[in-house]
Amino acid sequence: MITRMAPTPSGFLHAGNGAAFVLAWQLARQAGGQVLLRIDDLDAERVRPEYVQDIFDTLAWLGVDWDLGPRSPKELQESWSQHLRLAEYNRLLAELRDAGHLYACDCSRSQIAARGAKAEYDGHCRGRNLPMDKPDVAWRLKLPEGATVAMRTWPDGKPQEHLVETPDPVVRQRTGRPAYQVASLADDLRFGVDFIVRGMDLLPSTMVQLHMAKLLGLGKFGRVLFLHHALLAGPDGRKMSKSAGAASLRHWRESGKGPSEVFAMVDRLMARS
C-alpha cells in the first residue's frame, strides 16, 4: 500500500486537515504500507513560505512520519515541487485535447452566476467552438451525460459503478497552468499511490479523475482503493477552512495544546465513515 498526504499550502492548516493526515497515516502503518507527502504547490499565487513551513511543523507536532516526499521547504522547492512535473501534466492535457475531450471556455464566475448557475458551471461554452489557443480561456473536460466509473472503496475493495455527476471541470486554467484534477491524477500515478483517503467533499473530484484515467487508458488508476471520510465541522457547524486564527493548528501549537484532540477526531471520523 502507498497512500499520501496532499496538503495545499494556501493557508494555515486546521484540525480537519490534521485528522485527515493522521487517518491516512494510521491506516497505512496498520497495513504495513508507505506514506507519501505530496505538497500541492502548483497554484503559485496562493502559496506562501509560512504556509509551507506550517505543513512540516504540523506533521512534527502530530508525530506523523512519511516515507516519500520532501523533508523541508528547501527539498520541496529543489526536488518535489509540482512545478517540476509540469511536462507530465501538459502531456495528459495534450492527449485529452487531441482526442476531442476538451473545449475552451471564457466564462467568468460572475458571468456564470449572472446566468443563474451560482457556483456550478452550466455548460455555456460546450457548443461555441472557441479556439483552444485563444488567449485567456480555460479548458474544460466534456463529461458525457450518464458517464459512469467503477470505484473501489475501503475496506472491501469491491468495485461499484457510480455516475459522474458534476459540472464540466476546468482542467487547464486561464493562465495556461494545469488544474488540480490533472495534476493530482498524474502525481498519484507517478508515485504509485494505490490508497487515497479524502473527505466526502472531494468525491466529485474522484469521479472526474477516474473518468479521465478511463479516457486516457490509465487502467492502473481504476485499481486505486478510496476512503471518503465524513467532514468535520467547526464550532459554527460549517466546514472547517484554513485560517490564521484560533481555528488553526498553528494557534493550537503556540498555545501549548497537544494533538490528542486531533486523534480523538480521527476516532469520530472512522465511526461516521
**The residue type at 224:** V
Give the span between the Cα atoms of 148 and 162, in whole angstroms. Answer: 5
Instruction: Look at residue 119 in the predicted model and tell me its pLDDT.
Output: 63
Which tens digit of pLDDT belongs to each residue from 5-60? Answer: 999 999 999 998 999 999 999 999 999 999 999 999 999 899 999 999 999 999 99
Res. 243: pLDDT tops 90: no
Output the pLDDT for position 117.
60
Q: What is the pLDDT of residues 253-262, one digit of tens each?
A: 999 999 999 9
- How much is the pLDDT for 237? 59
The x, y and z cell numbers of residue 113, run together, are: 452566476
CB atoms within 10 A of CB 264: 11
Query: Which residue type is seen at 91?
Result: R
| Helical segments of the chain, H only | 15-30, 49-62, 73-75, 86-98, 109-114, 180-190, 203-215, 249-254, 260-272
Q: What is the pLDDT of residue 238?
A: 63
Mean pLDDT calculated for residue range 71-96: 98
What is the predicted pLDDT for the residue at 96? Answer: 98
Q: Is residue 244 scored above 80 in pLDDT? A: no
- Rounded to whole angstroms, the Cα distance separating 163 from 147 reads 6
Q: What residue ranges define each of the domains in the chain, with the CATH number in brackets?
A: 2-100+151-167+179-272 (3.40.50.620)
193 forms bridges with which residues in the sheet? none
pLDDT per residue as tens digits for the range 151-164: 999 999 999 999 99
